A and B are shown apart, each in its own frame.
Chain A
Amino acid sequence: MQDAAIYTKGLTKSYGKLSVLKGVDLVVERGTMLALLGPNGAGKTTIVRILSTLIEPDGGEVKVGGFDVVREGNDVRRTIGLTGQYAAIDDYLTGRQNLEMMGRLYHLSKADSATRAQELLEQFSLTDASERIAKTYSGGMRRRLDLAASLVATPPIIFLDEPTTGLDPRSRLQMWEVIEGLRRAGTTILLTTQYLEEADKLADRIAVIDHGTVIAEGTADELKAKVGKERLEVVVGEAHVERAAQAMGEGAHVDREEGTVSIAAAGVGEVRRALEALENAGVMVESLSLHKPTLDDVFLKLTGHEAEEAAAKN
Chain B
Amino acid sequence: MAYTPKPIGSIQPQKRSALAWALSDSWVLTQRSLRHILTNKDQLLGLAIQPIMFMLLFRYVFGGAIETGSTTYVNFLVAGILIQMAAFGALTTSISLAADLQRGIVERIKSLPTISSALMTGHVIADLARNVLSSAILIAVAFLVGFRPTAGPIEWLYILGLLLLFTFAISWLAAIMGLLARTVEAVQWMGFFFVFPLTFASSAFVPTEGMPWGLRLFAENQPVTHVIEAMRALMVGTPMGNHALMAAIWCIGTVIVAVPVAAYLFRKG
Whether both chains belong to one complex is answered with yes
* A interface residues with partner B (beta carbon < 8 Å): 49, 52-54, 74, 77-78, 80, 82, 84-93, 97, 101-102, 104-109, 112, 116, 119, 123-125, 133, 144, 149, 151-156, 174, 177-178, 181-182, 184-187
Question: Which residues of chain B (1-52) have a CB below 8 Å from chain A?
Answer: 1-14, 16, 21, 24-25, 28-29, 31-32, 35-36, 39-40
> What residues of A have a CB within 8 angstroms of the CB of B40 in the complex?
92
Q: B11 contacts which of A49, A74, A153, A178 (Cβ < 8 Å)?
A: A153
13 contacts between A and B (CB under 8 A): A54-B111, A86-B104, A93-B32, A93-B39, A101-B32, A106-B13, A107-B114, A109-B14, A116-B11, A123-B1, A144-B1, A149-B108, A154-B6
A187 vs B7: C-alpha distance when bound (angstroms): 9
Determine whether B67 belongs to the interface, using a CB cutoff of 8 Å to chain A: no
Chain B residue at minimum C-beta to C-beta distance from A98: B32
B5:A80 contact, CB within 8 angstroms: no
Chain B residue at minimum C-beta to C-beta distance from A173: B1
> What residues of B have a CB within 8 angstroms of the CB of A108 in the complex?
11-14
Interface residues on B, range: 35 or more
> What residues of B have a CB within 8 angstroms of the CB of A178 in the complex?
1, 3
> What residues of A have a CB within 8 angstroms of the CB of B39 in the complex?
92-93, 133
> What residues of A have a CB within 8 angstroms of the CB of B16 in the complex?
107
Q: A154 contacts which of B2, B10, B14 (Cβ < 8 Å)?
A: B10
Distance in Å: Cβ of B15 to nearest Cβ of chain A: 9
Q: B8 contacts which of A92, A93, A125, A156 (Cβ < 8 Å)?
A: A156
A89 vs B109: C-alpha distance when bound (angstroms): 10
A181:B4 contact, CB within 8 angstroms: yes
Determine whether B216 belongs to the interface, using a CB cutoff of 8 Å to chain A: no
Determine whether B209 belongs to the interface, using a CB cutoff of 8 Å to chain A: no
Determine whether B185 belongs to the interface, using a CB cutoff of 8 Å to chain A: no
A158 vs B103: C-alpha distance when bound (angstroms): 20
A77:B113 contact, CB within 8 angstroms: yes
B6:A105 contact, CB within 8 angstroms: no
Q: Which of the listed residues B14, B107, B114 has the most CB atoms from chain A within 10 Å of its own CB?
A: B107
> What residues of B have a CB within 8 angstroms of the CB of A86 in the complex?
103-104
Binary interface profile of B, 196-225, with partner A (CB < 8 Å = 1, else 0)? Answer: 000000000000000000000000000000
A53:B110 contact, CB within 8 angstroms: yes
Q: B13 contacts which of A52, A90, A107, A177 (Cβ < 8 Å)?
A: A107
> What residues of B have a CB within 8 angstroms of the CB of A182 in the complex?
3, 5
B113:A107 contact, CB within 8 angstroms: yes
A77 vs B25: C-alpha distance when bound (angstroms): 15
B36:A54 contact, CB within 8 angstroms: no
> What residues of A have a CB within 8 angstroms of the CB of B133 in the complex?
none
B13:A153 contact, CB within 8 angstroms: yes
The 9 closest A-B pairs by CB, nearest first: A88-B104, A185-B5, A107-B13, A88-B108, A82-B111, A92-B39, A105-B114, A125-B1, A104-B28
A123:B3 contact, CB within 8 angstroms: yes
Q: A77 contacts which of B1, B35, B104, B112 (Cβ < 8 Å)?
A: B112
> What residues of A have a CB within 8 angstroms of the CB of B145 in the complex?
none
Q: B104 contacts which of A85, A93, A97 (Cβ < 8 Å)?
A: A85
The verdict on A105 contacting B112 (CB below 8 Å), with A112-B11, A154-B10, A174-B1 known, is yes
Chain A residue at minimum C-beta to C-beta distance from B37: A92
Chain B residue at minimum C-beta to C-beta distance from A174: B1
> What residues of A have a CB within 8 angstroms of the CB of B113 in the complex?
74, 77-78, 105-107
